[in-house]
Amino acid sequence: RICWIAGYSLYLVASLLMVFYECHANIVSLQLEIHKFHVEDFSKVMGRTQKILIVAIATCNQLNILLNYGRLGLIYNEIANLDLEIGKASKDFCGKRHWLSFRLRLALSIGLWMVFIIGVIPRLTLGRTGPFFHWMNQVFTQIILIMLQLKGPEYCLFVLLAYELILRTRHVLEQLKADLEDFDCGARIQELCVTLKQNQLLIGRIWRLVGEIGAYFRWSMTLLFLYNGLTILHVVNWAIIRSINPNDCCQLNRLGSITFLSFNLLLTCLYSECCVKTYNSISHILHQIGCLPTAEEFQMLKMGVKEYILQMQHL
């Protein structure tokens, strides 16, 4: 483990040195562009802040991997354990499942977006760094920008993993509700109560897992949101400055950059919202179970449902 940490530390130092150098080269090129267009007030401050944010994000991401590798390992282990335990809990229940496999859904929702990021960033940044920027610096800058933007799909991957676990747990709860609607389930009431309790414990563990994922990505995603927002303002500012030039060929690239940066943030919000809505729908199913005649007839089931509802209210 010490050798791996030492090796990664060397990689961290080398990558951060490259980021520092490229940001310095970008600032020098930006300074020449600003002097050329005589916009040395707002554009200068915004441009330098944007470049400093790149350094902050790269440093935060690398240090986060180095210092929180233990937390990341616990997240992976908990996901694997929850997958096994939810599978055991749902083996006695059958019902409609998603017609697309989980791997295919990940490939469509995350894989395609990662390929798009890697392919589109060089095309959107090509020619926009100005005539004062060496092509080698431009290549390294594109690599750095790709690494920064890939943090969004990485976060979305963990959100979708949590979303899938919640979906499977809710599926078990829906099948439990369907069994309780059968008036002849009295002989199985103890078994169904045990399943309900297992489901409650699994949801509690998923909630703690989501908290760990949020803690791991907190600073990285916060800085990414700040960077993308500031970059959108920076692109709009330069579009206004260069609008007086009829030969400017980068207007469509700027529009594409704004759309791409916005969509990369909105995609994380969309997946997070789907995860939250699915989690909140569990309370609705519990209230439906609590209103069944079976719940009124069996006190053990009624108390189990109430305890589950109270847990959902406090999580």
Residue 242's nearest CA partner among 24, 11, 38 is: 38
Residue with structure tokens 């554009």? 43
Local confidence band at 130 (pLDDT 50, 70, 90 cut-offs):
low
pLDDT tens-digit series, residues 88-113: 887 766 555 555 688 888 998 999 99
d(CA 301, CA 293): 11
**What pLDDT, on a 0 to 100 scale, did the predictor assign at position 241?**
74
Two tokens at 102? 């989980």
Residue 22's nearest CA partner among 160, 136, 193 is: 136
**What pLDDT, on a 0 to 100 scale, did the predictor assign at position 299?**
84
Percent of the chain with pLDDT over 90: 40
What's the pTM value of the predicted model, to 2 decimals? 0.88
**What pLDDT, on a 0 to 100 scale, did the predictor assign at position 234?**
86
CB-based contacts of 68, cutoff 8 Å, min separation 6: 216
Which region holds residue 95: left if phi is over 0, alpha if psi is between -120 and 50, else beta?
A: left
Residues 177-195 have a mean pLDDT of 77
Query: Following DSSP, what letter does each residue of 155-190 receive, concatenated?
Result: HHHHHHHHHHHHHHHHHHHHHHHHHHTSTTGGGGHH
**What pLDDT, on a 0 to 100 scale, did the predictor assign at position 245?**
66
Percent of the chain with pLDDT over 70: 88
Count of CB atoms situated within 10 Å of the CB of 202: 20
Residue 268's nearest CA partner among 79, 108, 110, 105 is: 110
How close are the terminal C-alpha atoms of the chain, in Å? Answer: 36
Local confidence band at 175 (pLDDT 50, 70, 90 cut-offs):
confident
Which range (194-203, 233-242, 257-266, 281-290) has the least confidence?
233-242
Q: What is the dihedral of CA 296, 297, 298, 304, to 10 degrees?
A: -10
